[in-house]
Amino acid sequence: MERICLFPGTFDPVTKGHVDIIDRAVSLFDKLVIGIGTNSSKQPMFTLEQRCDWIKEIFKHEPRVVVEGYDGLTVDYCKKINAKYILRGIRYISDFEYEKAIADMNRMLSPDIETIFLTCSPEFSTISSTLVRDVIRNNGNVGLFVPKEVKF
């Protein structure tokens, strides 16, 4: 049975922290689906198409990485793509508390889907898409925080 994992997020924009998690997780699975979800509480800065294109370009030489947009419950999308795992990146303990609550809800909704947490490499722990968007809005240099493929 193929081991399929979903890495859900808004990736608005994709950061070096996201890439770090994907790079380290891809060898654990037969297929790693980067699911760009619609979050009703967030208004994205970049289009779904642009975010998908960036990730496809970054991982164009990694056939196990697939990028797709989705909406609705993450566990429902997992069922649609036959994913038995959800990957979440953790930067700080506050991330863990938030992500654990989501993982617990997902487990109650779908006990057969496991959530796996990977901690971010230390050099990327301060990077968040929210902070990167603030730098972009203020015309700052985001080159330290995003992969070279992220151009706007």
Q: Are 24 and 117 in contact (CB under 8 A)?
A: no
Of 27, 80, 91, 125, which residue is the catalytic one? 91
Of 16, 128, 129, 137, which residue is the catalytic one? 129
Q: For the sheet containing 31-37, what is the strand order?
A: 65-70, 31-37, 4-9, 85-90, 114-119
Q: What is the DSSP letter of 91?
A: S
Q: How far is the C-alpha of 112 from the C-alpha of 135, rounded, in Å?
A: 40
Of 18, 51, 64, 88, which residue is the catalytic one? 18
Q: Are 51 and 149 in contact (CB under 8 A)?
A: no
18 carries an active-site annotation? yes
100 carries an active-site annotation? no
Residue 72 burial (10 A CB sphere; 0-12, 13-18, 19+): exposed
91 carries an active-site annotation? yes
Catalytic residues: 18, 42, 91, 129
